[in-house]
Amino acid sequence: MLEIKNVKKIYPGGTVALKDVSLTIPRGEIVGLFGENGAGKTTLMKSILGFLHYKGEITLDGEPVTTKNIAKISFATCEHSFFPNLTAKGHAEFYREQFGSFSEKRFEGLMDFFELPKNKALRSFSAGQKNQFEVILALSQGADYILMDEPFAGNDVFNREDFYKVLLGILEPTETVILSTHLIEEVSGFIGRAVLIRKGEIVGDVSMEQLEEEGRSLMDYIKETYHYQADRVSKAVSLISGEE
Amino acid sequence: MKNEQGGRQKRWFPEFMKRFAPPGMDTDRQVNGYLTGLFLMLLFSVDYFVRYQNAWRGLFYWPEEGEKILIPGVVMPDFSELLGESLRGFFLYCLILLAAVVWNYLYYYQGSRSIYLMKRLPNPMERHKRAWVLPLLAVGVTLLAAFVVLVLYYEFYMIVTPKQCIAPGQWHKIWR
């Protein structure tokens, strides 16, 4: 279980990125993390990974995140965390060396499925292939908690569709996924729970099951929670064009 | 055959050494650059022989005809004096090599943010190992090369200079 208790993060300069965030994510959940740009999604993920100093407490199966248990978390980011000059095969060797639970089978299977070249340096991959490879590494590390920060930015819809299907097919019941994305409607069939973050605060936390029972879509829920003003576009257009 | 950077395999650089470099770094190119630098420092040190030759010529009277004649009571300048700044290049090169450590750390910010991966490795020393080991090894080899050059130049001085012209305690004077 991943437990986040009263986490606060203030960047140098005084920007408050996280305000007293508390969240509990049990094993086996697929959680969508939604919020506008700058809402604190990436900061939250980086805090979980221990990349940032923060106030509060984050524990993984009851233990603070340290080098002893960090291998339980993997991370796929749109910034990419692979080595651009290394081949896919070289990455597999590196992961095998560093992470005892690296899944060769999953890596090979996903590489074959997405038809990615194994002996080419990552820098020569297309943008879509780079994203795919980033996610493949995160899924193959053998981690219990897989954090994904907008991993499909730049991928076409077919690629993304394939990925969701494969993900649902290969994930073990104990594997937890936290997926930060703007592709709300696309992932609504894939996630089990949606967490909304706004200006560093958790403003919504709902299971997809609950939404289904209430007959609401994820998009409606997000709009309601964010107090989305449906007429703001028409107002802006009127203002800019000078029409009544 | 392709290597892990996706380029042509170069066999002479030991594969196991790549474990001490940032993943994907072109170590063959780095070693080539290092050896070129070392060679240039060696060339720079050769100016010792220019100074030596001038000093050595000063030991003799050179008649227009016949053999050179050793000037009685003449003393060869000290080895340390003739060595001058010849080895300084090696030490400056060591500083440049230490700057490679900084380069190795910055490597993880180039083209991606592989620093995120390095920071979450179960072995926290891995990143530091891959930044420091090869530059320190190169510094060690450079210092060793400087010492070998020093010994060779010293031996040359002791062998070529007429015995009676050498002031005592030459080796000790180097370290003063």
Q: ipTM higher than 0.95?
A: no
Q: How confident is the model at residue B131 (pLDDT cuts 50, 70, 90)?
A: very high
Shortest distance between the Cα of A80 and any Cα of chain B, in A, equals 5
Among A127-131, A154-158, B120-124, B138-142, the minimum mean pLDDT is found in A154-158
Q: For A237, how many CA atoms within 13 A lie in the half-sphere containing its CB?
A: 5
The count of CB pairs under 8 A between chains A and B is 86
Contact B121 A49 (CB under 8 A): no
Distance from CA of A200 to the nearest CA of B (A): 22
User: What's the pLDDT at B158?
Assistant: 96
| Confidence (pTM) | 0.85
The answer to whether B106 contacts chain A (CB < 8 Å) is no
Contact B112 A98 (CB under 8 A): no
For residue B59, pLDDT beyond 50:
yes
Tell me what the mean pLDDT of segment A85-106 comes to.
96
Fold of the A2-207 domain: Rossmann fold (3.40.50)
- Per-residue pLDDT for B1 more than 50? no
Please, where are the H alpha helices in chain B?
A: 27-45, 47-57, 79-83, 88-106, 115-119, 126-160, 170-174
Given CB atoms, is A124 within the 8 Å cutoff of chain B?
Answer: yes
The shortest C-alpha distance from A117 to chain B (Å) reads: 11
Band of residue A186 on the pLDDT scale cut at 50, 70, 90: confident
More confident residue, B68 or A83: A83
Map out the domains of chain B as residue ranges. 24-163
Hey, what amino acid is at A19?
Answer: K
Instruction: Specify the pLDDT at position A137.
Output: 97
pLDDT in the model for residue A155:
72
Long-range contacts of B106-113 (CB under 8 A, 24+ apart): B107/B22, B107/B25, B108/B22, B110/A84, B111/A84, B111/A85, B111/A123, B112/A79, B112/A80, B112/A81, B112/A82, B112/A83, B112/A84, B112/A122, B113/A77, B113/A79, B113/A80, B113/A81
What average pLDDT does the segment A70-81 reach? 95
Residue-level pLDDT at B64: 85
Q: Are A12 and A70 in contact (CB under 8 A)?
A: no
> Could you give the CA distance from residue A100 to residue A70 in angstroms, rounded to a whole number?
12
Domain residue spans in chain A? 2-207
Contact between residue A175 and residue A148 where contact means Cβ atoms under 8 Å apart: no
